[in-house]
């Protein structure tokens, strides 16, 4: 599968390397792709992954991954254009924060905003409740964790679920929350995530949904 990842930070790089190792054709979309030094640095950091401009990353991709800062995501996607995104599966990892470290999306999640702004794009929200290391190595914590999916398109969620499986997530760890409106809960969890990380002194943890034995 061809995967275009928008964003070259820790999350984008981690996912790019992991999916490339799993046999996918991956490109990183960087707003500074024309800077030879930046392109060389990113190529060296993520072996086997080409660095292109964002529009080119989207154009050749079966799946687009949004790993940009949440407050910059919609403006970047708008510059790429709705026609270029039409019909594509967009895996949204991002969460938006203000300069005061508050959530930028309160009444509507970023995932919902992307879906509303680009109605012909099949948006699936996932992976935003965990650190980038756990994203690509579910076995790095003790015991199983849960990863969530939100989206309106069942086939798009199936595609994303397969990509999560390629990262090492077993089927039983995937929990489909329902439509894209449920992405709000995933993004709002980031506030609790920060609190837990501060309490533990580490981002290296997961969460697990434990059903009642009486259910």
Write the CATH number for 123.
Answer: 3.40.50.720
Q: What is the pLDDT of residues 53-69, one digit of tens each?
A: 999 999 989 999 999 99
The domain total for the chain is 1
Q: If we measure between CA atoms, which residue out of 183, 176, 190, 155 comes closest to residue 11?
A: 190
- Is residue 194 situated within a structural domain? yes
- pLDDT given at position 57: 95
Q: 186, 207 in Cβ contact below 8 A?
A: no
Say if 59 falls within a structural domain.
yes
Quote the pTM value: 0.93
Residues of the chain below pLDDT 50: none
Q: Does 183 map to a domain? A: yes
The predicted structure's pLDDT at residue 100: 82
The answer to whether position 210 is within a domain reads: no
pLDDT at 192: 94
pLDDT at 104: 84
Tell me if 214 is assigned to some domain: no
Range of the domain at 150: 2-200
């Amino acid at each position: 599968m061809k995967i275009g990842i928008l964003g070259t930070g820790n999350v984008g790089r981690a996912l790019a390397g992991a999916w490339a190792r799993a046999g996918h054709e991956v490109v990183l979309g960087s707003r500074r792709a024309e800077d030879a030094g930046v392109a060389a640095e990113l190529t060296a950091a993520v072996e086997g992954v080409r660095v292109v401009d964002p529009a080119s990353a989207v154009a050749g991709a079966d799946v687009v991954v949004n790993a940009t800062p949440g407050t910059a995501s919609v403006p970047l996607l708008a510059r790429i254009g709705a026609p270029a995104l039409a019909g594509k599966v967009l895996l949204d990892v991002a969460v938006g924060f203000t300069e005061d470290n508050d959530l930028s999306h309160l009444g509507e999640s970023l995932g919902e905003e992307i879906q509303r702004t680009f109605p012909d794009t099949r948006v699936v929200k996932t992976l935003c409740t965990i650190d980038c290391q756990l994203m690509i190595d579910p076995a790095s914590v003790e015991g199983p964790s849960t990863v969530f999916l939100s989206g309106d398109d069942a086939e798009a969620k199936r595609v994303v679920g397969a990509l999560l499986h390629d990262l090492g997530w077993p089927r039983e760890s995937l929990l489909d929350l329902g439509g894209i409106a449920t992405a709000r809960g995933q993004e709002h969890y980031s506030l609790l995530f920060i609190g837990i990380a501060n309490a533990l002194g580490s981002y290296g943890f997961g969460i697990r949904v434990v059903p009642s034995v009486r259910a």
